[in-house]
Structures are given as structure tokens and as C-alpha cells.
């Protein structure tokens, strides 16, 4: 099973650049998780002012340049995990938070081929293959 996780740091949890110790611990966790096959992909997100939000309501599209959300909603990074269950994803998230510090991780299972909305199994498999191959 694959899961998409989002990390939202606690307000004020991170001020300034990360320390060398923090980066060493995070790099070790990422390396171990990649070697075990648990971590498929991960990444951090740029500051809110570099982004935009695109909303469609009743056929009208509105674009808002960042920042566009409350600081308590900021997603700091993401990971795609390959694990046998939601419980395993929860345990993985606990290990991550021990390094990352205060905040929260949201866990969302990715759709399976049977749940995909494309109605085209070959397209679904190609998309998944391309995502894993880019690692």
C-alpha cells in the first residue's frame, strides 16, 4: 500500500535554518527509509509567497498568489511511503516526528488501480511506474 504524508510544523517550531545536527539526523532517517523500501519519494516545499492557489467555483476561476493560508496550515514537506498498512504508516510518522519535532503528519492512502478514476489500467500503471522510476 502506498501513502502520501504531509508534515505541518507547529507554529513557531522552526525559526531560521536547520542545524547541522538536525540535518544529519533527517538525512540518516531518509537514507534508512529509502534503503528499506519504505520511502518512495520525499521533498520539502518552498515558502508560501512563491506559490499560488487556483480555485474554481461555479465555473469561475480565481487565482491567489501566496501567502494564501494561515500559518497553522503550512505544509512543510511530503513523503510517499510504501507500507503494508495504515498502522505501519502511523509508526513511520512517529519516527519522522522524533527527528522533525513538534507538528503533525497527515496520512492519506493513495488510490489503488481498482479505485483509479482513469478507467484505463495501462495509463494508471504507466503513471505509477514513472513515479517510482524517477527515484
Q: Residue 118 above 80 pLDDT?
A: no
| Any domain includes 88 | yes
User: Hunting for cell 501513502 — which residue is that?
Assistant: 3
Whichever domain contains 118, its CATH number is 3.30.70.1060
117 band by pLDDT with thresholds 50, 70 and 90: low
Q: Contact at 8 Å (CB) between 3 and 84?
A: no
> Which range among 3-17, 96-110, 111-125 shows the weakest confidence by mean pLDDT?
111-125
What are the tens digits of pLDDT across the range 31-66?
A: 999 999 999 999 988 877 888 888 899 999 999 887
Nine-digit cell string for 63: 487565482
| Any domain includes 83 | yes
Residue 103's CB is within 10 A of a number of other CB atoms, namely 16
Domain, as residue range, for 13? 2-47+73-133
- pLDDT value for 125: 64
- For the chain, the domain total comes to 1
| Any domain includes 108 | yes
| Any domain includes 56 | no
Helix (H) or strand (E) holding 2: strand 2-9
Q: Which of 124, 133, 79 is nearest to 106 (CA)?
A: 79
Instruction: Report how far apart the first and last C-alpha atoms of the chain are (Å, whole number).
Output: 18
| Any domain includes 37 | yes
User: Hunting for cell 500503471 — which residue is that?
Assistant: 125
pTM, full prediction = 0.75
Residue 105's CB is within 10 A of a number of other CB atoms, namely 19
Nine-digit cell string for 58: 461555479
134 band by pLDDT with thresholds 50, 70 and 90: low
Long-range contacts of 115-118 (CB under 8 A, 24+ apart): none
Amino acid at each position: 500500500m502506498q501513502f502520501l504524508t504531509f508534515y505541518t510544523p507547529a507554529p513557531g517550531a522552526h525559526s531560521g535554518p536547520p542545524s547541522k545536527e538536525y540535518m544529519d539526523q533527517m538525512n540518516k532517517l531518509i537514507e534508512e527509509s529509502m534503503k528499506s523500501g519504505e520511502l518512495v519519494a520525499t521533498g520539502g516545499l518552498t515558502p508560501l509567497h512563491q506559490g499560488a492557489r487556483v480555485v474554481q467555483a461555479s465555473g469561475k476561476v480565481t487565482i491567489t498568489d501566496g501567502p494564501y493560508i494561515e500559518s497553522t496550515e503550512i505544509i512543510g514537506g511530503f513523503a510517499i511511503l510504501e507500507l503494508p498498512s495504515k498502522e505501519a504508516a502511523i509508526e513511520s510518522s512517529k519516527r519522522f516526528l522524533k527527528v522533525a519535532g513538534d507538528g503533525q503528519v497527515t496520512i492519506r492512502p493513495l488510490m489503488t488501480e481498482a479505485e483509479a478514476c482513469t478507467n484505463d489500467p495501462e495509463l494508471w500503471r504507466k503513471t505509477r511506474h514513472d513515479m517510482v522510476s524517477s527515484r
